[in-house]
Structure 1
Amino acid sequence: MASCSKLQKNCIMLLQNILARHSWDYWLLGLLIFFYPTGVWLVSSGGSSVFNILGIGGLVSLLIIKKWPCNRSESLVILSLLLYLCVTFLSWWVNGMEDGSYKLLRRHLLFMLAAFGAVWLCWRRPSAGFFWWGVVAGSILMGLVGCYFFYLGGSFRANIHHLTQVNPIVFGQFSVALFALTSASFAYFYRLKPWTVIFPASGMLLSLVSAIGSQTRGAWLALPFVILIAAWHHRKSLLKHYIALSTAFLLFLILFFTFSGWKIIENRFITGTQGVGAYLKGEDESIDPSVRTRLDMWKAAFEAGKSSIVIGPGKDEFREAARAGVERGAYIRHASQHHFPHSEYATAFGYHGITGLIALFLVFFIPGYVFWKRCRGSVDPEAQGLAVAGLMTVVCFAIFSLTDSPFEQRPTIMFYSVMLLLPLTINSLSRHTNRENYCEGYG
């Protein structure tokens, strides 16, 4: 009994020490952020609305009485995310509170959660180590899962869907995004120990294999741009460590041909070009209808957006336009079977008109500009790495949005928001004594 009482006292003292590190409002905001998605996702529509009002009201009240901890650039990025949420709310309000727009609004409320999470991070200012280790671990895990799917044989995309219940498009987008973020982590790992760069290098190789296997067009389109940004960021180091670079490239080729990566790219390219050719000739596409389906959905979104070009007709109008086009023979029948146009740009215009398109542009442009300025204004490799990571997140999702609608799905909304706000708010300056030698050694 005495030992149990002593253990209880030690636990209480430990909890008190942890709580004493920050003020009560810090912990209250953290709890609200933690419980907020639970209320949005799990309860019914009516209960979710009440929870949203209470949660948002409580968070706003807390921020009013507490000094705003974010600097100008952080505030701009947070406001850019909230802008897209505001446009969704305005469209839902103007267009008669239709059910489809309300469901989209509930998803976009995750931008509100991310915004308050950013404020919380600005109070906490966590170190960069948590971010970089998490990114590298995620890329290695995604890569190993992808290699396992290749090992099972059969369709890679079917294996993703049956074994993980994850959309193969989302899987490919996450793989490319983690590949991009991992490529910016070498400065941090080189500071720890030069040999630890094997971890981000392994993550890049493995996640690249998964990205190719996913057969996601948007992910493949983003890869060349990501590689160019990474090469520009590491241009000095690549010249110094060309042997390691050659070895990594050789390992990638081995993995690439071992898992028949070239056949996947070749088949996807052939079916894609055949689909475009059939569409231009006005022929029915029977082998792979995905190309024509997307093109017809984009046309339907454009027709829907034209009907209310300023604020947009809302989400339900898109499906009506697609269904009408199928009935009159203008669109392929698959175009009316999807809930969104599979392009965030077409989605923004088709749902919210010109206002939505401008808001989406600002969602990408403002964070991209902030990270670009930080990247150009810093001489420290670690600080540059964080800025490059944020910039790559913006570039990836801007390109993903060409062939998919990432902000129609909760996982991609949260991934974009978190991976955008973490590099923006965490402490980039590490505490080590020989910073000058480290900067010179890394290049």
Structure 2
Amino acid sequence: MKNRITSLRWVVFFVLFSTSSLLLIGRRAGNLGFYALLLAALLSLVLRSQHADLRFGTFVRRFWPWHLAMAGMLLAILLNQLISGDFAARSFDYPSRMALFVLLAWACLQCSASMLGWLQWSYVLGALLCTVKMYIITDGGTTRAGHVDFMPIIEFADMTLLMGFYTLVSIRYTPGRGNLLHLLNLLKIVAFLGTLYAAYISGTRGTWLAIPVLAAIASRILFDRFEQRKQILLALAGVLGLISLFVLNPQVQHRVEAAQQDITTYSKDASSDTSVGTRLGLWKTSYELFLEHPLIGVGRENFHSTLQGLGQQGKISPVIARQIHSHNEIFYNMATLGTFGLAGLLALYLVPGVCFARKMRDADAEVRAVASMGLMTAVGFFIFGLTDVTFMWGASDNFYAIFMAILFAHCYRRQTQRAHPAA
């Protein structure tokens, strides 16, 4: 029995390492990793594996807020369909990735704290591969591609940036000493800078919005050895430095000026079909749909047809009527799932975010660093969702579910290791 559980542990580690480094690179990597982790979780239950005092039933009861929050969107869709009587099984596919967090996290918990710590190198590898991929698909920043294989370039840029920040804060627990430590940390910094470059050449303004916030969280971890005043000053210097790198760039200035011009045009003519104007029109229309259907919304499957109907009535422009989502995660869930959708989405952000934020005060540097990655994931997806519907894409749902499971398990295993060294 012990040998089988040990073998399963290494299988899970291999799945986690390959998935976390290749999820954004290969079309099937995320799905294969997701289903492999589910299978591993089920096998562990059959083998009745446990760690120290943590049985599966205890795990479910102790961390029920996590499980409920991660299932929030699926529950919102279920309530919508039960009340409306309009059933569509495919609506459950992507939200189920996060709803099955309970099994994903249980699979990740099969790995030891040391094994989860080794995943730092999968973050480095992932960051480097994503940078190369972004360079290739944009021809070195000379073309702005709409899609990257199996997802829009917006989502690819978003998650590439997160991989870079994971790599950066993992500096706090890089193994080794002396020159080797410096060399490995230099590699991590290069990988991080590569993802900043990838974000820049992507031309994705929504991704750029997240950089100052993620940089502030990273600074809190990287400079936590200093007294509070120095921490704040160093954090401000880091954030301002990153902002300056972008703001002073002509391409970034052009994109920002274009957005400002779109807003000016929209303020004079609400029917304008500029990029930003279309988004503002969609947000307004989505909010109006929410007011008309505040409890359950119009339903995921009915959003596009509802917009088409409003377009035929002349209430919205033809460009807005052709859209398949609101270009805003919150407005989209309010319009399609009503109050249930809003509550489910906020729980998805807030519960993990608050839990990880609390762990950033832990005495252990590795726990603090990993917790900051979790907070970055929650906050990052919230910011990304301000300009797009991130969870509409399978890669995004896989990313959020799998990395939340990894980071949760890493924090738990590390804290347990310190509390019970012999366990």
Larger Rg: 1
Instruction: Return the alpha-carbon distance in structure 2 between the equivalents of residues 220 and 209 of structure 1.
Output: 11
What is the identity percentage for the equivalent residue pairs of Structure 1 and Structure 2? Answer: 22
Alignment check: 8 A CA contact 2:271 2:316 kept: no
- Alignment-derived partner of residue 205 in structure 2: 217
- Alignment-derived partner of residue 416 in structure 1: 400
Secondary structure at the aligned position of 1:306 is classed as helix
Q: 2:166 aligns with which of 168, 181, 190?
A: 181
Q: How do 1:86-235 residues align onto structure 2 when only pairs under 5 Å count?
A: 86-99=75-88, 102-125=89-112, 127-149=115-137, 152=140, 154-155=142-143, 157-158=144-145, 161=147, 164=149, 166-189=151-174, 191=176, 193-195=180-182, 196-235=184-223
Aligned-pair distance for 1:210?
0.6
Instruction: Return the alpha-carbon distance in structure 2 between the equivalents of residues 62 and 115 of structure 1.
Output: 16
Alignment check: 8 A CA contact 2:203 2:252 kept: yes
Aligned-pair distance for 1:22?
6.4
Equivalent pairs counted in the alignment come to: 380
Secondary structure at the aligned position of 2:71 is classed as helix
- Alignment-derived partner of residue 384 in structure 2: 400
Q: Which runs of 5+ in 1 are unaligned?
A: 1-15, 43-50, 433-443
Structure 2 residue 325 is the aligned partner of structure 1 residue 325:
no
Question: Which shows bigger deviation, 111-120 or 121-130?
Answer: 121-130
Amino acid at match of 1:170: E
Instruction: Return the alpha-carbon distance in structure 2 between the equivalents of residues 132 and 141 of structure 1.
Output: 14
1:12-60 superposed Cα distances (whole Å, 9 cap, x missing partner): xxxx995253689x99xx9xxx9xx99x989xxxxxxxx9xxx9xx899
Instruction: Return the alpha-carbon distance in structure 2 between the equivalents of residues 178 and 291 of structure 1.
Output: 27
Using a 3 Å threshold, how does the CA distance of structure 1 residues 179 and 309 change in structure 2: closer, same or farther?
A: same
Using a 3 Å threshold, how does the CA distance of structure 1 residues 125 and 79 change in structure 2: closer, same or farther?
A: farther
Alignment check: 8 A CA contact 1:383 1:428 kept: yes
Using a 3 Å threshold, how does the CA distance of structure 1 residues 200 and 75 change in structure 2: closer, same or farther?
A: farther
1:157-199 superposed Cα distances (whole Å, 9 cap, x missing partner): 22x73x7454111111112211221221011215564211012
Alignment check: 8 A CA contact 2:151 2:395 kept: no
Question: Which shows bigger deviation, 107-116 or 393-402?
Answer: 107-116
Q: Which runs of 5+ in 2 are unaligned?
A: 20-26, 50-54, 419-423
Using a 3 Å threshold, how does the CA distance of structure 1 residues 64 and 383 change in structure 2: closer, same or farther?
A: closer
Q: Give the root-mean-square deviation of aligned CA atoms.
A: 4.1
Secondary structure at the aligned position of 2:414 is classed as coil
Instruction: Return the alpha-carbon distance in structure 1 between the equivalents of residues 248 and 316 of structure 2.
Output: 33
Using a 3 Å threshold, how does the CA distance of structure 1 residues 300 and 147 change in structure 2: closer, same or farther?
A: same
Q: 1:78 aligns with which of 59, 67, 88?
A: 67
TM score, norm. by length of structure 1: 0.74
Instruction: Return the alpha-carbon distance in structure 1 between the equivalents of residues 335 and 47 of structure 2.
Output: 35
Alignment check: 8 A CA contact 1:172 1:210 kept: yes
Question: Which shows bigger deviation, 215-224 or 344-353?
Answer: 215-224
Structure 2 residue 375 is the aligned partner of structure 1 residue 386:
no
Instruction: Return the alpha-carbon distance in structure 1 between the equivalents of residues 60 and 256 of structure 2.
Output: 46
Instruction: Return the alpha-carbon distance in structure 1 between the equivalents of residues 150 and 156 of structure 2.
Output: 10
Alignment check: 8 A CA contact 1:344 1:406 kept: yes
1:294-334 superposed Cα distances (whole Å, 9 cap, x missing partner): 12222222222223211222124422442233334443322
Q: 1:264 aligns with which of 251, 256, 266?
A: 251
Instruction: Return the alpha-carbon distance in structure 2 between the equivalents of residues 323 and 75 of structure 1.
Output: 41
